[in-house]
Amino acid sequence: MENPDRNPWRRFLALPNESRSKTLIMAFLVSAVCAVLVSTATVYLRPIQAANRAAEEQARIAALVRGVPGMSTLLEESGGTLSTVVVDLETGRAATDVTGETLEAALADAANWTAIDPADDLAGLGQRPDYAQVYLLRDGEEISLILLPVAGQGYNGRIEAILALRGDMNTIAGIAITSHSETPGLGGRIDEAAWQAGWPGKETRDSEGTIRFSVARGAASSVYEVDGITGATRTSNAMTKIMRFWLGPEGYGPLIGAIRRGEF
């Protein structure tokens, strides 16, 4: 009598293709292999994607700065680079225990996020990081330009941008939208250079320190307004709320105050 094959894999392959058990096992094996391949690719590509996003943001920052009148000359005189600092948003001071290199790891810890009271959550964030990396240019001891990353909920999803303020911490030097999911041709126009060109020179606060900035429902009619986007009222309102949140006490308000007092 012929000895049966004791190799389980060969015995499995010898089963008829119509076998239910063979079909289920093969489906499971294919799914498992695909899952492993996808997971491996995700882990491998994540640092590349992060590097690409960082490069894109740096390119937008460079373009934003070049578009600010006089900034190219100031950059050349100061060595051509912006300095960066991680800010503790609660105190408005430079963080003592978090650096640019450790910021990502710090924000991976839920303890370094603060829940926002719904009444104060103009930007629709739910929670705010305790630390943020800002970019600044000094003219001697004075800050002549500061770039502030901002974010909030738009009509279709999260909007991320970089707001540039001049040294008086009140005059807008420019804005760069770095990420959004708004409707193309409507709210999506926030990333158009023509719309962003209306921001430089606008003021964020009045003489009493009250935040007045807004995106108008049409053409701008004051120094505190930028033109609204036709057919995109919700996106325009979202941009107003995002800016007011980050310029206020829950955002960069403490930092702006410290800079104005000459304490930063």
Q: What is the pLDDT of residues 222-255, one digit of tens each?
A: 999 999 998 899 999 999 999 999 999 999 999 9
Single out the residue of 167, 163, 157 nearest to residue 74, CA to CA: 167
Quick one: pLDDT at residue 129? 95
**Cβ contact 201:189 at 8 Å:** no
CA dist., res. 147 & res. 245, Å (int): 16
- What pLDDT score was predicted for residue 34? 84
Gap between the Cα atoms of 109 and 89, Å rounded = 16
* CA atoms within 13 A of residue 207's CA, in its CB half-sphere: 0
CB 105 within 8 A of CB 96: no
pTM of the model: 0.74
Predicted confidence at residue 47, as pLDDT, reads 64
Give pLDDT, residue 17: 74
- Quick one: pLDDT at residue 211? 96
Under-50 pLDDT residues of the chain: 1
Closest CA to 170 of 232, 257, 235: 257
At 35 the pLDDT is 83
Q: Is 97 left (phi over 0), alpha (psi -120 to 50) or beta?
A: alpha
